[in-house]
Chain A
Amino acid sequence: QVQLVQSGTEVKKPGASVKVSCKASGYIFTDYYIHWVRQAPGQGLEWMGWINTNTGGTNYARKFQGWVTMTRDTSLTTAYMELTSLKSDHTAVYYCARGEIPADYFDSWGQGTLVAVSS
Chain B
Amino acid sequence: DIQMTQSPSSLSASIGDSVTISCRASQSIGFHLSWYQQRLGEAPKLLIYAASTLQSGVPSRFSGSGSGTDFTLTISSLQPEDFATYYCQQSDNTPLTFGGGTKLEIK
Contact = CB atoms under 8 A, between A and B. Distances in A.
A24 to B, nearest CB: 14
Contact of A105 (B43, B89, B94, B99): B89
B5 to A, nearest CB: 12
A103 B91 contact: yes
Interface string A2-22: 000000000000000000000
Interface of A: 35, 37, 44-47, 59, 61-62, 95, 97, 100, 103-112
Contacts of A103: 32, 49-50, 91
Nearest to A46: B98
B44 A109 contact: yes
A47 B55 CA distance: 21
A62 B49 contact: no
A79 to B, nearest CB: 15
Contacts of B98: 44-47
B55 A106 contact: no
B87 A44 contact: yes
Given A46-B98, A104-B96, A105-B49, A110 B32 contact: no
Interface residues of B, number: 22
A62 B36 CA distance: 24
Contact of B91 (A62, A105, A108, A111): A105
Contacts of A109: 43-45
Given A109-B43, A109-B44, A45 B87 contact: yes
13 contacts: A44-B99, A44-B100, A45-B36, A46-B98, A97-B44, A103-B50, A105-B34, A107-B49, A107-B55, A108-B46, A109-B43, A109-B45, A111-B43
A110 B101 CA distance: 20
A108 B49 CA distance: 13
B102 to A, nearest CB: 10
B91 A104 contact: yes
Contacts of B49: 100, 103, 105, 107
A52 B45 CA distance: 22
